[in-house]
Amino acid sequence: MANQENLPLYEKVWLKRTFQRAIDILILLLLFSLLSYRLFSINNTFFTLPWFLAFSCESWFTFTWIILLNAKWSPAVTKTYPNRLLQQVPELPRVDLFVTTADPVLEPPTITVNTVLSLLALDYPVNKLACYVSDDGCSVFTFYGLLEASKFAKFWVPFCKKYNIQVRAPFRYFSEVTKSEDSQQFKQEWILMKDMYDNLCQKIEDVTRNPSSFQFEGEFAVFLNTEKRNHPSIIKVILDGLSDGLPHLIYVSREKRPKYEHNYKGGAMNVLTRVSGLMTNAPFMLNVDCDMFVNNPKIIQHAICILVDSKNGKDVAFVQCFQQFYDGIKDDPFGNQWVAAFEYIIRGMAGLQGPHYCGTNTIHRRYAIYGFYPNERQYVKKGKLAEKILIQQFGSSKEFIKSATQAIEGSDHSTNGISSSNFIEEAIQVSNCGYEYGTCWGKKMGWVYGSITEDVPTGLNIHRKGWRSEPITPDPTAFMGSAPGGLLTTMVQQKRWGSGLTVVFFSKHSPVMGILFGKIQFRAGLSYFWLTNWGLRSVFEVSYAALVAYCIITNTNIFPKGLGLWIPLTLFGIYTIHTLQEYLSKGLSIRCWWNNQRMITMRSTSVWFIGFLSAMVKLLGISDTVFEVTQKENPNSVAAARDDADAGRFTFDESSAFVVGTTILLVQLTALVVKILGVQLEAHSGNGCGIGELMCSVYLVVCYWPFLKGLFAGGKYGIPLSTIFKSALLAFIFVHFCRITDTRSTIN
């Protein structure tokens, strides 16, 4: 006990994964052999378009493998010691809590209410917390829900603390029943709480069901005649942090006007940063999406261990918690629970400069968000910032500049001291559309604009200044959220990532620029490619899929024959065993592994490709991309939805998201039919299509099996005729193209 003061608040433990490293290397060697085979097979007959395509794609796959191998090479786990915190730190720092919501229909207010309740009940000194909710939907129902929730919180928070409840999001907590060993008094209070919670949900449900009968009076009057994309700033202090043993709770709906870009979530986060800067100005800020409730009430203490550690914490800009999901469908049919990716990639990045910023479940250092370098504070102090520069950087609000200066100078334990009477006035000013005009917000500091995956460039902008980040995985899990519940929602989300990440790849925030002109370490920058390449990757995967079909239809080959065929075969075999082993060793099932494998193939040959194309259209300045919010199920009905027969089944609609996938499938089917019927073209000089091409094509059809079933099924389980028609047309054009290019080469 005596020497507790010298003990670190957190430690990094390196993991040994010798076996996996060996397999990774083996796969790399096989990839190199395949490339060498290609090079050695160049001669007159082989230097053709298919050869060139195969060589480019395989070079790309090798490059991708190097990226992955590098990212996974030195995994680490970060361990935190919150018990030491209280002994070493005289006073815990303030933390501002940010929640974003954007649409009361796609994100039912009950979800946001539950997240907020779990935040208000955090195990952290109440006077050190303030919760800010950004509502991009400008919905009176969200506001109403929060207002009602704040009344319930007066009972809920003390109840959680009295009985040391772990899960403090009521919908989740009440989904379990009380145990027989619980005391009588507890049971009584439990029933009372449950009644109150049910009552709260009922009230919210009633108003959302009958929007027309809502009375826009008193507090709610400002919402009258507002439109989602055309309204003034609305800021309301719901809880003032002075009484009731509850943190501040502030509702913020920033101004929106049709002529102004609002920059989606990034814009909302920057407004929250400024509004909170005025009021509480905490040195640290937690940000969560509206569906990510707190599952471990001690999470802030864990994160603070890292951020205030005097030895190793000074250059940590943010602490990232894994995204984990509740009530996930069994065996992850849509591949959106990300268990393996987090385990292998994020842990790997932890051993480098740190994980990328995932957009939610993150505790940020305000100073880093303000665009400074890790050791810049000392210079700032000496130099005294000129007012003119501050206005250029932070905008014209004098009060905000005062607060920012305090944050920069590191007077962590003081608030800005703005009086509550002029707070609203100033807060409205900093959340107006025009405020950021001519400032550094969204460019050099804060949440970075320009991509619909705002999180990645924002994290890159921080890492390129030399900051590090740390992941934490406390037990119990820090936060839990809802994964997309269906195929379409998953595909829409993946399309957004494919598009947004491509834009990042080609922007000045790309990892290449970070390595060349910033302070991103080489290997950390390389590991970022794993993410920013998602869209780009699809171009090669789609080309390869097309190439295989082309070979079968025109009776040519790209794979070696005879002994040489063993190279791709071994590669495929070892890769399969390797990924399977990764899943099994994480306790995941074979089914889950397969579901993920086929989803990886499906998304990278369909929606990522659409995302890539839309990013190109945006980069060429033809049209902009839109952030499509992920549909969240009403928390009170999730469990029921999971039980119904639909859970995990593939359902389709007319969305363009399905056209590319259906085309890929039709093209492969055509190729296989051509082969089976024996109506291929005559092979040139004995180099006809072989077993390798056929196996690839069959593998693709197996991956696309749910689509194949969809071709024949009816109702929502079937692919709509219009989609099939569009895809058939595209497939026909492709097959026709194969035939004409081949005739030409025969004539030559």
- Identity of the residue, 218 or 258, whose beta carbon is nearer to ligand UPG in the bound complex: 258
- Per CB under 6 A, the list member of 78, 80, 101, 439 interacting with ligand UPG is 101
**AA identity, residue 132:** Y
| Residue 560: strand pairing partners | none
C-alpha distances out from residue 734 to 23, 288, 376, 689, Å: 38, 45, 57, 18
Which structure tokens are listed for 548? 């295989």
* Burial degree of 697 (CB within 10 A; 0-12, 13-18, 19+): buried
Residue 496 binds which entry of ligand UPG, Mn ion, none, with Cβ cut-offs from 5 to 8 Å by kind? Answer: ligand UPG
**AA identity, residue 659:** V
- Identity of the residue, 130 or 269, whose beta carbon is nearer to ligand UPG in the bound complex: 269
**Rounded CA separation 742/555 (Å):** 9
Give Cβ neighbours of residue 87 (< 8 Å, ≥ 6 apart): 4, 5
Taking Cα atoms as reference points, which of 401, 441, 368, 177 lies closest to residue 278? 401
**Rounded CA separation 541/548 (Å):** 11
Other C-beta atoms lying within 10 Å of the C-beta of residue 737 = 13
- Per CB under 6 A, the list member of 68, 85, 307, 629 interacting with ligand UPG is 629
3-class state of residue 578 by DSSP? helix
Segment near ligand UPG (CB under 6 A), from 55-63, 300-308, 452-460, 566-574?
Answer: 452-460
- Identity of the residue, 30 or 346, whose beta carbon is nearer to ligand UPG in the bound complex: 346
Question: According to the binding rule CB under 6 A, does residue 496 interact with ligand UPG?
Answer: yes
Residue 493 binds which entry of Mn ion, ligand UPG, none, with Cβ cut-offs from 5 to 8 Å by kind? Answer: ligand UPG
Question: According to the binding rule CB under 6 A, does residue 533 interact with ligand UPG?
Answer: no
**Rounded CA separation 738/411 (Å):** 69
**Active site positions, annotated:** 136, 455
User: Pairing mode, if any, of strands 234-240 and 293-294?
Assistant: unpaired
- Identity of the residue, 534 or 707, whose beta carbon is nearer to Mn ion in the bound complex: 534
**Rounded CA separation 59/502 (Å):** 19
- Identity of the residue, 289 or 436, whose beta carbon is nearer to Mn ion in the bound complex: 289
Q: Give the angle 310-314-318 at the CA atoms, nearest 5°.
A: 125
Q: Which of residues 115-154 bind ligand UPG (CB under 6 A)?
A: 134, 136
- Identity of the residue, 596 or 670, whose beta carbon is nearer to ligand UPG in the bound complex: 596
Residue 366 binds which entry of Mn ion, ligand UPG, none, with Cβ cut-offs from 5 to 8 Å by kind? Answer: none
- Identity of the residue, 357 or 544, whose beta carbon is nearer to ligand UPG in the bound complex: 357
- Identity of the residue, 89 or 106, whose beta carbon is nearer to ligand UPG in the bound complex: 106
Question: According to the binding rule CB under 6 A, does residue 618 interact with ligand UPG?
Answer: no
Question: According to the binding rule CB under 6 A, does residue 473 interact with ligand UPG?
Answer: no
Q: How far is the CB of 107 from ligand UPG (least distance, A)?
A: 6
**Rounded CA separation 383/445 (Å):** 20
Segment near Mn ion (CB under 5 A), from 96-104, 176-184, 541-549, 625-633?
Answer: 625-633
**Rounded CA separation 331/335 (Å):** 9
Question: According to the binding rule CB under 6 A, does residue 633 interact with ligand UPG?
Answer: no
Phi and psi torsions of 730, nearest 5°: -60, -40
* Cβ contact 476:321 at 8 Å: no
Question: According to the binding rule CB under 6 A, does residue 275 interact with ligand UPG?
Answer: no
Q: Which of residues 360-419 bind ligand UPG (CB under 6 A)?
A: 360
Question: According to the binding rule CB under 6 A, does residue 255 interact with ligand UPG?
Answer: no
* Burial degree of 385 (CB within 10 A; 0-12, 13-18, 19+): middle
Q: Which of residues 287-306 bind Mn ion (CB under 5 A)?
A: 289
Question: According to the binding rule CB under 6 A, does residue 270 interact with ligand UPG?
Answer: no
**Rounded CA separation 432/386 (Å):** 25
Question: According to the binding rule CB under 6 A, does residue 265 interact with ligand UPG?
Answer: yes
Q: How far is the CB of 169 from Mn ion (least distance, A)?
A: 15
Question: According to the binding rule CB under 6 A, does residue 662 interact with ligand UPG?
Answer: no
Residues in contact with ligand UPG, counted by CB under 6 A, come to a total of 23
Q: In the complex, which residue's CB is closest to ligand UPG?
A: 359
3-class state of residue 386 by DSSP? coil
Question: According to the binding rule CB under 6 A, does residue 110 interact with ligand UPG?
Answer: no
Peptide bond into 75 cis (omega under 30): no
Q: How far is the CB of 556 from ligand UPG (least distance, A)?
A: 41
Q: Give the angle 150-154-155 at the CA atoms, nearest 5°.
A: 125
Question: According to the binding rule CB under 6 A, does residue 289 interact with ligand UPG?
Answer: yes
Residue 107 binds which entry of ligand UPG, Mn ion, none, with Cβ cut-offs from 5 to 8 Å by kind? Answer: ligand UPG
Would you give the binding string for ligand UPG spanning residues 44-63, x where CB under 6 A is met?
A: --------------------
Spell 80-116 as b/e; 16+ CB within 10 A means b.
bbbebbeebeeebebbbbbbbbbbbeebbbbbbbbbb
- Identity of the residue, 72 or 254, whose beta carbon is nearer to ligand UPG in the bound complex: 254
Q: How far is the CB of 323 from Mn ion (least distance, A)?
A: 8
Which structure tokens are listed for 478? 């820090």
Phi and psi torsions of 480, nearest 5°: -135, 140
Segment near Mn ion (CB under 5 A), from 282-290, 426-434, 575-583, 687-695?
Answer: 282-290
- Per CB under 6 A, the list member of 100, 270, 337, 353 interacting with ligand UPG is 100
Interface ranges with ligand UPG (CB under 6 A): 100-102, 107, 134, 136, 264-265, 268, 289-290, 359-360, 452-455, 493, 496, 500, 627, 629-630
Interface ranges with Mn ion (CB under 5 A): 289, 630
